């Protein structure tokens, strides 16, 4: 084996180690919110359909119905159920969001979806967000 080949071996090992570390970092979880909220991203297609593909996504939040109801009394029928709330920035006219209570007009549409992301539980059109929302950029 030549001297040049011996010198390249540690270099190749270092390159391989860096490549494996990069792959592990890319494949690892990105949980910048939290596990409960991350599960709610499954609700996005249903929520977007509920607002007729209008508005800009503000964010997604996993929350108890009682927590939402403290700031938005119309959410009281949701009870203690953990749900996913998806917020969009409009504007939204009166009755533009199906079954919204209040029906609008307003700046934001909130769509409450079950944790499985398969059923819309309620929708709301409001001028001010009752909760803080974040989304991944």
Contacts of 51 (CB under 8 A, 6+ apart): 88, 90, 92, 96, 97, 109, 111, 123
pLDDT tens-digit profile of 36-45? 567 788 899 9
Least confident range of 6-15, 48-57, 99-108, 121-130: 6-15
pLDDT tens-digit profile of 45-101? 999 999 999 999 999 999 999 999 999 999 999 999 899 999 999 899 998 998 899
Q: What pTM does this model have? A: 0.71
- Yes or no: say if 102 and 126 are a contact pair by the CB < 8 Å rule: yes
């Amino acid at each position: 084996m030549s001297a040049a080949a011996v010198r390249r071996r540690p270099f190749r090992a270092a390159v391989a180690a860096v490549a494996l570390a990069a792959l592990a970092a890319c494949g690892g979880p990105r949980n910048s919110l939290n596990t409960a909220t991350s599960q709610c991203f499954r609700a996005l297609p249903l929520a977007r359909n509920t607002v007729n593909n209008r508005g800009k996504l503000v964010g997604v939040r996993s929350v108890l119905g009682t927590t939402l109801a403290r700031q938005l009394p119309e959410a009281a029928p949701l009870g203690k159920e953990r749900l996913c709330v998806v917020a969009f920035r409009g504007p939204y006219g009166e009755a533009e969001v199906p079954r919204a209570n209040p029906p609008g007009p307003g700046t934001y549409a909130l769509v409450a979806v079950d944790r499985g992301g398969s059923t819309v539980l309620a929708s709301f059109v409001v001028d001010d967000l009752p909760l803080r929302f974040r989304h991944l950029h």
